[in-house]
């Protein structure tokens, strides 16, 4: 399988009220159609790493950062950031990446259907039956005309997954997508998503602090190792395979 993400010596620092945070990634390679978990405690940099993988956050430095969303399409992301090609990065993201946020991130004034169709509209894609079939698999096809505020938390996350998949991305990123749900609902939703992603041949990366779940699903995991750098009060966090 081709390598979708290839990162080498990627660093991102963030200043937080006098104390520093530094995320460091010596080397990560994620192959097409792999299903990978980013595992680590709160504050270790999972969302920071996902935002960089989503091309939404600029690394401070990167020896190498490439993205190959399709076999015949490859980008040097570090070069695009260096050249400040934000519009190109946004276009790659819009076309190839679906992103599910922890709280779903649905627009409250749009119906479920309009929320799901939004990524397709932004790309001028025609209406398509596949969105309806994904909605059916996710079990939300009867909720399409409701506003998100009238759904349960679990239903909202199902909608968020459906929306993230509606423009047929090759990559799905999910940031603790079921953290606000009870464990049984969380596992049910993830089981459906895993099946769907496998069928659609999508590469999936999920941030999670639920070790037990990650082990149970038998996912490859990238673990976080922390060290506090003594002088300077910098909390250094490293993700390794
Ligand atoms: N926009 C920001 N500006 C400055 N610092 C930030 C910002 N976002 C996050 N941080 C800091 O970066 C560090 C990593 O945060 P991040 O959100 O990536 O962690 P996380 O692993 O996703 O945590 P959680 O499990 O709680 O979601 C934290 O110390 C946090 O305070
Ligand atoms: Mg987070």
Atom 16 of ligand 1, residue of closest alpha carbon:
45
What is the token pair recorded at 141? 């096809």
- Domain residue spans of the chain: 3-240
| Per-residue pLDDT, 169 | 96
Strand-strand pairing, 35-39 and 220-229: parallel
* Residues in the chain with pLDDT values less than 70: 16-18, 211-212, 214-215, 230-232
Atom 17 of ligand 1, residue of closest alpha carbon:
47
The dihedral over CA atoms of 178, 105, 96, 168, expressed in degrees to the nearest 10, equals 70
Q: Please state, in angstroms and as integers, the Cα–Cα distance from residue 124 to each residue in 38, 95, 119, 121, 202, following that order.
A: 33, 11, 9, 5, 22
How close is the Cα of 23 to the center of ligand 1, in Å?
A: 10
| Per-residue pLDDT, 138 | 92
| Per-residue pLDDT, 103 | 79
How close is the Cα of 123 to the center of ligand 1, in Å?
A: 30
Report the share of the chain in percent with pLDDT over 70: 95
- 19 Cα nearest atom in ligand 1: 29
| Per-residue pLDDT, 211 | 67
CATH classification of 3-240 is 3.40.50.300, yes or no? yes
């Amino acid at each position: 399988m081709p390598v979708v993400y290839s990162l080498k010596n990627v660093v991102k620092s963030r200043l937080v009220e006098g104390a520093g945070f530094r995320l460091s990634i010596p080397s990560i390679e994620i192959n097409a159609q792999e299903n990978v978990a980013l595992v680590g405690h709160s504050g270790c940099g999972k969302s920071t790493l996902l935002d960089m993988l989503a091309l939404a956050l600029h690394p401070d430095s990167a020896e190498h950062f490439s993205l190959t969303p399709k076999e015949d399409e490859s980008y040097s992301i570090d070069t695009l950031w260096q050249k400040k090609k934000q519009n190109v990065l946004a276009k790659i993201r819009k076309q190839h990446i679906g992103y599910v946020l922890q709280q779903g991130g649905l627009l409250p004034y749009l119906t479920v259907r309009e929320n799901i169709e939004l990524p397709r509209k932004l790309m001028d894609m025609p209406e398509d039956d596949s969105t309806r079939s994904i909605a059916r698999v996710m079990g939300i096809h009867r909720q399409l005309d409701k506003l998100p505020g009238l759904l349960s938390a679990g239903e909202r996350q199902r909608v968020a997954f459906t929306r993230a998949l509606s423009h047929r991305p090759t990559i799905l990123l999910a940031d603790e997508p079921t953290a606000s749900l009870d464990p049984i609902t969380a596992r049910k939703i993830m089981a459906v998503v895993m099946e769907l992603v496998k069928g659609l041949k999508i590469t999936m990366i999920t941030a999670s602090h639920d070790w037990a779940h990650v082990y149970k699903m038998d996912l490859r995991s990238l673990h976080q190792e922390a060290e506090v750098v003594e002088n300077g009060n910098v909390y250094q966090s490293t993700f390794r395979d």
